[in-house]
Chains A and B, each alone.
Chain A
């Protein structure tokens, strides 16, 4: 087990709604990344947070936003949901050895 937890496990929303996904780690590591994984594909990098600041962003529109809290847990917010946002959303904390990212179990989001 990686010690990374995500909530909720599953979520169903309708187009146009907003969603907040959460991620935390027992490790105390201060860097968290979020990824979107469409069915049958590899994860795609959304963004990374380091000490509460965004530290790199992938090719995702501004309606994907995030937060990191002083305890290093994190939220991913998606506004104006679209059907194509249906995916598994993964968070990962940086751990030892350096650069290795340890993933949580993911949140399965379905947009109807």
Chain B
């Protein structure tokens, strides 16, 4: 079946460094991807999204890159802060537009 997965389950970075979280997807027909941040005890929080007609999209301190050739998605966080510590999920929307498929998540730990 179709799936969205992540390469690294845990990423530890120093405060102030840049973080890169990677994600592979298998449905080449997917045209919309979202990154979510989930802190302990909370629901997933929307960070940034990208459509398949784009290669890059930037937000505040975050950048999402999409490589359709290798079906790879990444989230870059600039100047990582302790408040960025959380689990990050990439998700893709299905063709019907009603279902998000999530990967297993990457835990980002920021060391002071």
Bound-state Cα–Cα, A109 to B96, Å? 29
Among A41, A56, A97, point to the contact of B104 (Cβ < 8 A). Answer: A41
Number of A residues with CB within 8 Å of any CB on chain B? 27
Mask: chain A, 85-103; 1 = CB below 8 Å from B; 0 = not: 0000010100001011111
Q: Contact between A104 and B46 (Cβ–Cβ < 8 Å)?
A: no
Q: Are A42 and B97 in contact (CB under 8 A)?
A: no
A43 with B98, Cβ < 8 A, contacts A90-B43, A105-B43, A106-B42 known: no
* Chain B residues in 8 Å Cβ range of A35: 100
Q: Which of A43, A99, A104 contacts B32 (CB 8 A)?
A: A99
How many pairs, one residue from A and one from B, have CB atoms within 8 Å of each other in the complex?
61
A 40-58 binary contact with B (CB < 8 Å = 1; else 0): 1111110010100001101
Chain A nearest CB, measured from B66 CB (Å): 15
Min distance, Cβ A107 to any Cβ of chain B, angstroms: 10
The answer to whether B89 has its CB under 8 Å from any CB of chain A is yes
B49 to A105, Cβ gap below 8 A? no
Are B96 and A56 in contact (CB-based, < 8 A)?
yes
What residues on A are CB-neighbors of B101 within 8 Å?
A: 45
B44 touches A48 (CB 8 A): no
Minimum CB–CB distance for B16 against chain A, Å: 28
- Name the 6 nearest CB pairs between A and B, nearest first: A42-B102, A103-B43, A56-B98, A45-B99, A48-B98, A103-B44
Q: List 24 contacting pairs A-B, 8 Å CB cutoff, sorted by A.
A: A2-B43, A2-B45, A31-B98, A33-B99, A40-B104, A42-B103, A42-B104, A43-B89, A43-B100, A45-B100, A45-B101, A90-B44, A92-B100, A97-B49, A99-B93, A100-B34, A100-B49, A103-B36, A103-B44, A103-B45, A105-B41, A105-B42, A105-B43, A106-B43
Q: A43-B89, A92-B43 are in contact. List 14 more A-B contacts (CB 8 A).
A: A2-B45, A33-B98, A35-B100, A40-B104, A42-B105, A43-B102, A44-B102, A45-B99, A45-B100, A97-B49, A100-B49, A101-B46, A101-B100, A106-B43
